[in-house]
Amino acid sequence: MNLEEVQANWEKYGEQDPLWGILAWPDKDDNRWDRESFFQTGVEEIAEVLAYVRGLHVQIDAQSALDFGCGVGRLSQALAAHFQQVHGVDISSSMLELAAHYNQYSDRCQYHLNTTKDLSLFANNTFDFVYSNITLQHMPPRYAESYILEFLRVLKPNGILVFQIPSAPKRRARKFIQPLRPTRAWRAYQKLRYGDLPTMDMYGIKRDKILRLLVSNGGHVLDVQADDNADTQWESYRYCVTKASND
Ligand SMILES: C[S@@+](CC[C@H](N)C(=O)[O-])C[C@H]1O[C@@H](n2cnc3c(N)ncnc32)[C@H](O)[C@@H]1O
């Protein structure tokens, strides 16, 4: 799967069932999410994440935040209650159209379409806080790795980066679900089963590999926690990282 295919998939979700494409709760498909409870999940998630970071005894300046893979702005809107300026980035224009529609913060929350494998739309050392949840898991690892390096580049020295990505399928689930890289057979099966509906491919990168990538690119890992944000069949982690001031 290349980035154009990733984009085409998320354009379909944005057109067909955007809120469920973002939070696939079993009773919320067919456009059954109501907007208020959907955005409330973002308010609660950001409150929890900021409390988690504070619990690590590190300060976050409240100037600027990046929400990578912002979808319709569930988390960007919640971040705007805490940061002066929020930038949401997504690969899907249909998701971003809705994000603009739901934006309650005018210019304080800006959304950007980015279809490249980098974040060259932002200069080095731009953000106090970079956050990404349930996004890196839906793209082939080569892209996720490229974005993680970009997170470090756009993070201000002493800024805080928090992101989630699965490591591997849980042991007991391994033989029932698709391998780390979906095979042709798996994709053909999905197409047969779901027809033209978008697919929800899952990918992971081993925790050790992520740690090596971070450390060898100037990241200082403050904490790694198991989380349950990925599909229940995946072992997933949340990484909290900062970058030294002499980069
Ligand atoms: C499951 S949704 C999560 C949205 C948001 N993070 C949230 O939790 O509300 C994944 C989002 O990532 C976006 N996405 C997927 N690949 C991307 C990429 N390479 N660059 C930017 N956004 C991407 C999709 O368009 C989609 O809106």
Residue 74 has pLDDT above 50, yes or no: yes
Neighbouring C-beta atoms of residue 206, cutoff 10 Å: 16
- pLDDT one-digit tens code per residue, 163-214: 999 999 887 555 444 445 455 555 555 555 555 667 778 899 999 999 999 9
Domains contained in the chain, number: 1
CA distances (Å), origin 17, targets 11, 118, 199: 10, 27, 12
For residue 95, report the phi and psi dihedrals to the nearest 5 degrees.
-65, -45
Please give the distance, rounded to the nearest whole angstrom, from the Cα atom of residue 135 to the centre of ligand 1: 5
Residue 23 Cα: closest atom of ligand 1:
1
Nearest protein Cα to ligand 1, atom 11: 69
Strand partners, 234: 169
Per the structure, the complete domain to which residue 223 belongs is given by 3-243
CA 140/CA 167 separation, integer angstroms: 13
Residue 73 Cα: closest atom of ligand 1:
9
Residue 143 Cα: closest atom of ligand 1:
19
- Identify the residues whose C-beta falls under 6 Å from ligand 1: 6, 10, 22, 69-71, 74-75, 89-92, 95, 114, 133-135, 138-139, 143
32 burial type by CB count under 10 A (0-12 exposed, 13-18 middle, 19+ buried): exposed
- pLDDT one-digit tens code per residue, 220-245: 999 999 998 887 789 999 999 999 87
Query: Which amino acid appears at position 107 of this protein?
Result: D
CA 84/CA 64 separation, integer angstroms: 6
Cβ pair 27, 104 in contact under 8 A = no
CA 193/CA 15 separation, integer angstroms: 20
With the most atoms of ligand 1 within 8 angstroms of its CB, the residue from 15, 86, 90 to mutate is: 90
Residue 50 has pLDDT above 90, yes or no: yes
With the most atoms of ligand 1 within 8 angstroms of its CB, the residue from 10, 29, 68 to mutate is: 10
Residue 67 CA from chain centroid, whole number:
8
CATH number at residue 107: 3.40.50.150
- Tell me the Cα Rg of the chain: 17
Please give the distance, rounded to the nearest whole angstrom, from the Cα atom of residue 71 to the centre of ligand 1: 5
Give pLDDT, residue 195: 56
Residue 6 Cα: closest atom of ligand 1:
16
Please give the distance, rounded to the nearest whole angstrom, from the Cα atom of residue 163 to the centre of ligand 1: 12
Please give the distance, rounded to the nearest whole angstrom, from the Cα atom of residue 69 to the centre of ligand 1: 3
pTM for the structure as a whole: 0.91
Cβ pair 23, 40 in contact under 8 A = no
Residue 95 Cα: closest atom of ligand 1:
27
- pLDDT one-digit tens code per residue, 90-137: 999 999 999 999 999 999 999 999 999 999 999 999 999 999 999 999
CA 66/CA 79 separation, integer angstroms: 9
Neighbouring C-beta atoms of residue 160, cutoff 10 Å: 25
With the most atoms of ligand 1 within 8 angstroms of its CB, the residue from 134, 135, 200 to mutate is: 135
Query: Which amino acid appears at position 154 of this protein?
Result: V
Give pLDDT, residue 138: 94
CA 125/CA 111 separation, integer angstroms: 19
